[in-house]
Structure 1
């Protein structure tokens, strides 16, 4: 409800501005913080804004999460048994990468423009760790497999047509945050395209953090790893003993 009132106010202000003032892109989120609790099942954020739109203009939004190393494996049948025969660790990949746009990206801008703005799966740097065991030849095959896997988890997504333009001035879209998202700072870039070129850009951020019992377990696992490991072993042994005692009765 608050977001709707804000959008209405923004519309009234925008309509009252002179044409020259509308050249600045305006965008905002209905919330800038997401808290992960033990019962967290995901979240949906509203992004809305205003721009001076011509008939050929488009909006694209890129939400990028913290970088991480992602491992990918290839399995082959060896002597009738499926085994990992090759492995690759890709470094510096975004843990979260969602693209939302008014139209398909290839209809909005040239490949050079998309590459310059790292807009699209094809333009995410694919850097292998030095210990990776794959040859240079099948890199594109591995990259395609990685993209498929990340899309299957819901952490990477390309959603053309997801941005709704209202009255040639306002725009809005929903950003879906899955339950398996990692804590950290998320960058939100809103790009205004005209004639295939970026004419305006707005940058904001979303902070994702753990809260409550989930936060305590997370901090313990990362800051006190040895103690967390010992506790996990003790807890597992105690749980097994308790289960055995119950079934004996």
Structure 2
């Protein structure tokens, strides 16, 4: 007599993964970086950081991603060569305050094709819309028959000085615009590379990942990146900034000692 086999166990179906309301109901972007901290030492020759993320788009409308990375602000001192009585001299220095030490934009296509001029200017996205504070110095002149009219010392030359700031930073690879810097590697998944040159300033960097749809910003993800000195370089940097007088005196003494030793060595030879 053959015993009846027991019935098979009931089929257990795995529950469907839950999705947040923000993922299913609205367009948004999420991003992260492979490394949020860069250590700078004597062997630092630059670094490349990969920024990656995903676009959650429940609609059929296409989207664009724009990555903006801004480094710590620092003053910029500029002079211009002027000819005076046949002699070329440096003009009075102009100090720009609030110019970022590093600025990079990467996008899926040209910024002008993603959003209009006014939208980019309002968000401060792109080198052309970068906010650089003008010098506070001013003078009073008489113009159009009105006395004591306050005019910026740069006047109409402000744009030329501003272009000079951007041109110098671009030549040092500190400012960069890449219209093809954001690449979609899969449906909704994208990546971009942040190239930090060896002269990149230390401090805290801020990254904004904008998601555009039909020329309008619909979502943004904010990230931070820290570039800091380590080792003996950091100790010297902090000592020089915390005790500048002591650091200056030690440099003078070290230079004098080096010169004295060199004179003794060459005298014997």
Q: With the length of structure 2 as denominator, give the TM-score of the two structures.
A: 0.81
User: Is the 1:88–1:134 Cα contact (8 Å) retained in structure 2?
Assistant: no
- Listed as ranges, the matches of 1:132-151 within 5 Å are 134-151=153-170
1:193 aligns with 2:212: yes
Deviation at 1:79, TM superposition (A): 4.4
Which residue is equivalent to 2:40? 36
1:45 aligns with 2:45: no
Aligned length: 235
- Listed as ranges, the matches of 1:1-249 within 5 Å are 20=24, 23-52=27-56, 56-131=62-137, 134-248=153-267, 249=269
RMSD: 2.2
Q: With the length of structure 1 as denominator, give the TM-score of the two structures.
A: 0.87
Unaligned runs of 5+ residues in structure 1 are 1-14
Measure the CA separation in 2 of the matches of 1:77 and 1:246: 47
User: Is the 1:191–1:198 Cα contact (8 Å) retained in structure 2?
Assistant: yes
Measure the CA separation in 2 of the matches of 1:236 and 1:161: 50
Secondary structure, counterpart of 1:145 in structure 2: helix
Secondary structure, counterpart of 2:79 in structure 1: strand
Residues 112-158 of structure 1 deviation map (CA, whole Å, 9 limit, x = unaligned): 11011100122222322334794311111111111111111111111
User: Is the 1:61–1:189 Cα contact (8 Å) retained in structure 2?
Assistant: yes
User: Is the 2:52–2:190 Cα contact (8 Å) retained in structure 1?
Assistant: yes
More helix per residue: 1
Closer, same or farther in 2 for the Cα pair 1:162/1:55, shift >3 Å?
A: farther
Higher radius of gyration, 1 or 2? 2
Secondary structure, counterpart of 1:128 in structure 2: coil
Unaligned runs of 5+ residues in structure 2 are 1-16, 139-151
